[in-house]
Amino acid sequence: MTLLDDFMMRAALAGLGVALAAAPLGCFVVWRRMAYFGDATAHAAILGVALALAFSTSVFIGALAVSLAMAMTVSALSGRGFAMDTLLGVLAHSALAFGLVAVSFLSGVRIDLMAYLFGDILAVSVGDIAVIWGGAALVVGLVLWRWQALLTATLSTDLAYAAGINPRREQLVLTLALALVVAVAIKVVGVLLIAAMLIVPAAAARPLAGTPERMAAIATVIAAISALGGLGASFRLDTPTGPTIVCLAALIFAATSLADSMLARQRGSSAR
């Protein structure tokens, strides 16, 4: 019996893979205030799942294709007279609704919709782990390769142009990475919680970090602790694993925010 024959070991590896992929990218989502962008991309994945099952192809490929199409659509429509929060809200909820309706038309195909909405980390296979870690490696590679350019474009488009960097190209890199994370994470935390795994660890890391690089590193550690701790807690408490992982990340966010607030208050008192 190998280590990968144990379902808890497979679940732990899957959680770590998603943490590795989501946390550094989540920092850019937080810095660029793209939370709704992540939501719209994630919600579109359900339509990808339905299409993949209808055409008997890989769920990963279906989710990736539709998530990428949604992300590209949002990028193309941004800055064309639409209020961004309204546009993203419409696209996110419409994509989820069309996906759920499409799933209802799949006759003869058994599908556990809750597993795709909230994740089913305990059911991941060795093949799923290979896909998750392969996707995570691609995302981390993309982010590391374009780190400085992405950071410059995030700080200021004028600064990016002055440095010879095309902000639209960097937006495209983020779009591709985001679609990859959604396709990778759908099995672990589900479409409704993917945005949380992108945003919450990065937001929790923000008060603890003095540099962007440190924030990305701390966010990755927090995401890994949330994945492993949430997995262990859900096993002991018999709670749904995906939501438990996000709950632990939220508690860490609350703790770091409270600590930061108390330190700021102490500094204010000593300054007087």
pLDDT tens-digit series, residues 94-120: 888 888 888 777 766 566 677 777 778
Map tokens 């990736």 to a residue. Answer: 64
Q: Nearest-CA neighbor of 89 among 172, 10, 195?
A: 195
pLDDT at 110: 61
- List Cα–Cα distances, 259 to 46, 238, 262, 265, 270, in angstroms: 38, 30, 5, 10, 17
CB 62 within 8 A of CB 32: no
Q: Are 184 and 143 in contact (CB under 8 A)?
A: no
DSSP letter for each residue of 32-96? TT-HHHHHHHHHHHHHHHHHHHHTT--HHHHHHHHHHHHHHHHHHHTTSSS-HHHHHHHHHHHHH
Q: Shortest CA distance to 44 belongs to which of 178, 243, 244, 227?
A: 178
Mean pLDDT computed over every residue of the chain: 84
CA gap 198, 9 in Å, rounded: 23
Confidence band, pLDDT 50/70/90 cuts, at residue 82: low
Residue 83: pLDDT above 70? no
| pLDDT(1) > 60 | no
What is the per-residue pLDDT for 79? 61
Q: What are phi and psi of 187, to 5 degrees?
A: -75, -25
| 164 vs 269: which has the higher pLDDT | 164
pTM of the model: 0.86
**Averaged over 248-272, what is the pLDDT?**
84
Question: 207-231 pLDDT, tens per residue?
Answer: 888 899 999 999 999 999 999 999 9
Q: Is residue 3 predicted with pLDDT exceeding 70?
A: no
Q: Which CATH number fits domain 3-192: 1.10.3470.10, 3.30.930.10, 3.40.50.300, 3.90.1150.10?
A: 1.10.3470.10
> What is the Cα–Cα distance from 268 to 262, expressed in whole angstroms?
10
Q: Rounded CA gap, 233 and 271, in Å?
A: 42
Indicate the domain borders of the chain: 3-192
